[in-house]
Every structure is written in structure tokens, then in C-alpha cells.
Structure 1
Amino acid sequence: MSEIVAMSVEPLDLPLAEPFEISLGTQHEASNVLVTVETADGTTGYGDGSPLPPVTGETQAIAIEAAQAMASIVEGCLTSNYRPIIQAVRQTFPKTPSATFAVETAILDAYCREHEIPLSELFGSTPRPVETDMTIPLLPQSEATKRATSAANSGYEHLKIKTGNDVSEDVERVSAIHDAVPDAALKIDANQGWTPKETAWFADRVADRGVHLELIEQPVPATDVTGLADTRRRVDVPIAADETVFTPEDAIRVVTEDAADIINVKLGKSGPLATADIIAIAQGADTDLMIGCMLESAIGIHTSAHIVAGTDAFSYVDLDGNRLLAEDIIPTSDGPIHEIAGPGHGVTPGL
């Protein structure tokens, strides 16, 4: 295969259709990073990352600076050596996961485009349509119910409800959404906002109101693995680890300490190759899997969807990041189905 002759990095600012509020803060736009690699034979690969300081520890400026510095590792290498290149990038820049995700995606995209194969085949299978849920942000009860009803009317059968501020208000809002869309499957994401005791109280209160929950995601702080395990013991609802798991080593700790029923893997935390390692760890430990996202454009979201199609490993799919954008980098559907294709992840900006 040919040599990577150039890698460029630029900001990718994508306004959101509506403000997106979670317990960690409110976003009004996706301040992303776009990476492009070019090979000697004229192939171009694209990647993007969506830094979120409370989660990834990066601002857009930090991610751009890091990605630009990664060019010294990437340029001059053969795309066929993608695994050692990506390993070197991640070892050298361990604290910038959004930047490394963008770079890793661009390299893998170029490799697959050179071979004229979809990215999913690199992970085991051909592309297929991938269904996502829709996230309901932290909103006043009436607005949250309105958003949930609109999503259900647009074909979304699975909803993820953001919680994690006032637990009593969370009970009322989740119950109201259930009453408004009783057929929707509901997931809860507290984004580290609760204690184990609060999580148990919440789960008991919504159960008393007849609300069935698929899972509760990351109820306690990311570093509190002991608290996560305590929550799992207290609560009958399956508990998912999200911000707790960035690396395969993090996944090993979660399964060793029986801290979660589900691991939520995000390429924006781990990248495609490490995600494959985390899948293997979870499957070996009989731990269920979810795939999530940040506010990536179609580039990052379709990359994640290719991992879903390629591995067939995920029971829960939360890939709605680009559905929250006012306008994506390519025309995309507003519905729950991601139609993916190749070669690579199949997304060329502007086309």
C-alpha cells in the first residue's frame, strides 16, 4: 500500500439544532476536529473527533494542537502499517482521545478506501443499516415530554433520558416521558450526577410508577469504581459504565470488580482498534455492550455504525450525535436508521 504523504487538521464547528444540556454542562455547538490524510496514490481519508472537556479533558484548541503534532508520527508511514502507527500515536498522546480518534479514523478510512472495502469489513462483516436511539437532554418536564413525543413520532423506539441533577425532578420527568410515550424503551444517563443511594432511590421511585428501564448509565463519578459496584448491588436495573471506561485496562477493572452489567464503548474515548479489544474483554466476561458517541459529524457516527455492523456485538446503540446538529457535513436522515456504505466509512465531506 502507499505512503501517507500529508496529514492536515482543521476545526469543524457545527451548531446544534437545540442546546444540549446534561449534568456536566450545556453545549450550543459541536466544536470538533477534522483530520484529513492523503496518500501517495491519491487516496484521501477523513476522521473527526468531538472534544468535551468534562469527559475527554480536551478543548477544541488542545485537540487541534495535539492532532497537528501527531503528523510527525503519521506522515511517511504506509497505510498497511495502520496498527503500529495508531499504537504509537496513542502511546505518545494518551490524554487527547478525541484528537487520536480523528487521526485513527482518517488512517483506517484511507486504508479501506485503498482496498475498496467498507470499514465494517475490517472488523468482521459487511455494512448493514444500524438503528439508534434518541437522547432527551436535561430539560423542564413539559419540554422533555415534547421532545420525547416528537422523537417517537419520527420513528425512534428507544430513548435515552439525561438525568443527574435533582433526583426528585428526574423521577417526575422520566415518569412523564413514560406516560407520554409508553411504548418507548427507556435508558437513563446520569452522567456521574448521583450517589449509589440516590440511584437506588430513583430506581425504586420510577419502578413504583410502573416505569421499566433498560439500564442506568454512569450514575456515579467516573473514578468511583467501588461506588459503581455498590450501585449495581443496590439496584435491580442493569448498570452501565461509560466515563469509567476509556481503555481496555479500564474495562478489565470494571469486569474484575463486578462494577457494571454493561460497558458503554465510545470511539471518541477509545478509538476503533481499542474498542475491538474492549469488545473481546466484555464478551469474555459475559458483560453486555452498548456503543455511544459524542457530538461527532456523520464521519464519526458512521465510523461507529461500521463497528456495530462489523462486530455485531452491541445490544444497545446510542449513535444520535449527528441527529442533534443543525446541519451535518453531508445530507443525512432525521430518523433512527443509519444507512452506511463504503469504501472506508463512506463519508466524504461536502458530498
Structure 2
Amino acid sequence: MTTIAEVRTRRLSVPLHTPFVTALRRTTTIETVLVEVVDGDGVSGWGEAPQVWQVTGDSLAGSQACLDGPLRDALLGRPADPRESAPLVQRAVVANRSAKMAADVALHDLAARRAGVPLAEHLAALAGVAGAAVELRVPTDVTLAAGEAADLARAAEARVADGFGALKLKVGTDAATDVARVRAVRDAVGPGVALRLDANQGWDAFEAVRVVTALEDAGAAVELVEQPVPAHDVLGLAHVTAHVETPVMADESLFTLEDLVEIVRLDAADLVNVKLAKCGGLTPALELLRVAGLHGFGTMVGSMMESHVGLGAAASLVAAVGTTALPDLDAAWWATASPYVGGPTYDRDRLVLPATPGLGIGGLDEGATP
């Protein structure tokens, strides 16, 4: 059996063409740790550990130290098959889910490359849906960074002109003016464009009910509202869900299976947003989606501010098992260019996965990386 021979890491900083602003942070770059897992035959699998301190608490330094230390120790000499080695990643350390994501995705990418199939087909087989057609063009919404009403309206018009039919508006920075911002966007794009909100924990439960109810009364036709309250306030999340008609989605409140059990127990949301950097990779993400579906919850796969490796993995997950809600996979769209040779690309509102083994990443494009 082929075993893992090397684990290599490198930090990347990828500039964005437009600042990304939410209720939690403002950034002009994608900051991530790239990992390459190499087996004894010289076949590589790629993964990444994005830095989003305000959500996961994971730093570049911490993720790289985790990958270079305990995760490397757990993987070297172990089988290249993720069914055997992915559990070792999850058990090797507490938390450090961005680092676990990087190692787990790299293991699955490696397995798909060895099997000669796209990552989506590999994941479909693991999930027991092998044989079904896997669509390699995965639709996504696009985010409108938090800002003033007039700026948001102009940005919304530009994104619709770019070919996006679903917009995710970042709110939660000021409950007193959030309604006006949302209404400005709706007026700018008309009724034919899907509009969803992400408060990124910016409201308390009572503010959330007031804002969402006001938007319902105004006929803003909001598709869903994501994480309206602080992550720890699952009771507050349940309060909002019970007092508005608009579907409510848990994001930062959901990292682990234990978090999902609490959301299910309290009926705290209508949908859940599964992200690889929050849960620790494709292996736990598959389980979260499965369990959420069994309990009748809507599902979405989203992204942090990741590069094309993380986005390709998330899109492959959607292509393999599907979700009930349009995914949120635009993070790498914000990059000025891909730092990789090969890999996924964007075509209007589609993230296009290459029909080549694994993620289709051929390594770093040294001419495009600082």
C-alpha cells in the first residue's frame, strides 16, 4: 500500500481586486497556508488553511506550525487512503480546524488523483452516490461587501451585469440603516435577482427580528438571513427563527457535529452553512451535510476567504452530494488572479471544476505568486 512520504507547507498572500468588508472585518488579501501531501510514488495532493481570525481563530503561524508538526507526524508513513488517514488528522490535535481542513483536503485530492478521477467523483463515491452524473460547473452567489446604500446599489448592478443572479449582501454593521441598504439594492436590481443577507453576528436577537420584519413588511423579498446573532447565542438564533417568516441560516454557530446537535435540539435555524475551514475538511463536512439532511434542515456549502484550492474542494463537495440552497463559493472570484497552474476557474456565476484528476492543480504559478 502506498504511504505518505512528505508534507510540505508554504504561506500565500493573494491580493483582492476589491476590499472585502463584513460586520467582522475588512481585508484586501487572501491569507492562507498551502499544503502539499506527497505519497511514495511522487503523487501530490493539495490543501489550504485560510486565516480568518475573527471566525475560526486560526492564524497562519498556528496553522503552519500544526501542519509542520503534529499533523505531519500523524501522516508520514501512513496510508495515502483518506478513509484510513483522515481520522488521524482529526484526532491529532484539538481545534486547529483550518490546518485540519488543509490536510484533509490534500488527502482527498491525492486519492482522487491516484484514482484518475475529479475530486467531485471521488467524493460522490465516498458518499454512496457513485454513478450519478457529476456536474463540474457549480453555481454560486456573489457577495456585496458592507457599505453605504448608494455604493451597494452600484455594486449590485455591476455584479448582475457580470452574470450573477444571486447576491449576498453583508449587513449587521448598523441595524438602524440596514433596512435602507437592503431596499436600495432591491430597487437597483429589481425582483428577478435573488437577494440573501449575511449579518455575520452583527445584530442581537431583538434587532434581528425588527430588521427582518421590516424588510418583510417592505416586500424586499429576501431569500434568507444568515447568522443574525452572535455565534454563541443559539437561543437567540432560535428566537429569531421563531419570530420571522424569512428562513434563517446558522453559519458561525456551526463548527462541529455537537454544534449541529444543539441547533437541531433547539430548532434554532432553518438552514445550516457548512464550511471546510470551520469543521476541519471534507470528511467532517460530508457528515454534517448528511446529518442536517436527515433532520430536515436546509443545507448550503460556503467559503471563507480562500483561494482556488479551498474553493475547488468546496465546489467538488457540492457537485458530489448537492445542497438545498445555492452555494456561496465566490471567495476566489475576489482574487486578482489565481496563484496556481490549473485548477478551478470562474465563468460568470459558475465555478468551473476541471475534468482532470483531483482538483486539477498542477502546482504554484511562480510568476503569479509574491
TM-score, reference length from structure 2: 0.91
Give SS of 2:102's match.
helix
Alpha-carbon distance in 1 for matches of 2:259, 2:227: 14
Give SS of 1:48's match.
strand
What residue number does 1:349 align with? 363
Q: Does 1:198 align with 2:207?
A: yes
Alpha-carbon distance in 1 for matches of 2:307, 2:57: 20
CA-based RMSD? 1.4
Alpha-carbon distance in 1 for matches of 2:202, 2:239: 15
Alpha-carbon distance in 1 for matches of 2:317, 2:248: 23
What are the superposed Cα offsets for residues 178-204 of structure 1, whole Å, 9 maximum, x if unpaired?
000012101100001111111111112
What residue number does 1:17 align with? 17
What residue number does 1:131 align with? 139
Q: What's the CA shift for 1:127?
A: 4.1
What residue number does 1:338 align with? 351
The one-letter code matched in structure 1 to 2:77 is G
Alpha-carbon distance in 1 for matches of 2:186, 2:148: 15
In the superposition, relative to structure 1, how do residues 137 and 327 fare at CA in structure 2: closer, same or farther (>3 Å)?
same
What residue number does 2:330 align with? 320
Q: What's the CA shift for 1:160?
A: 0.4
2:142·2:168 contact (CA, 8 Å) conserved in 1?
yes
Q: Residue 154 of structure 1: which of 162, 167, 173 is its match?
A: 162
Q: Residue 284 of structure 1: which of 273, 290, 294 is its match?
A: 294
Q: Does 1:141 align with 2:154?
A: no
What residue number does 2:251 align with? 242
What residue number does 1:85 align with? 85
1:196·1:234 contact (CA, 8 Å) conserved in 2?
no
In the superposition, relative to structure 1, how do residues 334 and 49 fare at CA in structure 2: closer, same or farther (>3 Å)?
farther
Alpha-carbon distance in 2 for matches of 1:93, 1:314: 32
What residue number does 1:301 align with? 311
Q: What's the CA shift for 1:259?
A: 0.4
Q: Does 1:171 align with 2:179?
A: yes
Moved over 6 A (4+): none
Alpha-carbon distance in 2 for matches of 1:314, 1:16: 29
Q: Does 1:260 align with 2:273?
A: no
Q: Does 1:207 align with 2:213?
A: no
Give SS of 1:232's match.
helix
What residue number does 2:55 align with? 55
Q: What's the CA shift for 1:334?
A: 5.6
What are the superposed Cα offsets for residues 276-302 of structure 1, whole Å, 9 maximum, x if unpaired?
111111111110001100111111111
Alpha-carbon distance in 1 for matches of 2:45, 2:254: 28
The one-letter code matched in structure 2 to 1:42 is G
* Higher mean C-alpha deviation, range 84-93 or range 301-310: 84-93
Share of identical aligned residues, percent?
Answer: 32
How many pairs does the alignment contain? Answer: 350
Q: What's the CA shift for 1:165?
A: 1.5
Q: What's the CA shift for 1:226?
A: 0.7
2:148·2:181 contact (CA, 8 Å) conserved in 1?
yes
2:139·2:326 contact (CA, 8 Å) conserved in 1?
no
Q: What's the CA shift for 1:349?
A: 3.2
Stretches of structure 2 lacking an aligned partner (at least 5 in a row) = 125-131, 366-370
* Higher mean C-alpha deviation, range 278-287 or range 91-100: 91-100
Q: What's the CA shift for 1:348?
A: 2.5
1:248·1:278 contact (CA, 8 Å) conserved in 2?
yes
2:23·2:202 contact (CA, 8 Å) conserved in 1?
yes
2:216·2:246 contact (CA, 8 Å) conserved in 1?
no
Alpha-carbon distance in 1 for matches of 2:80, 2:16: 34
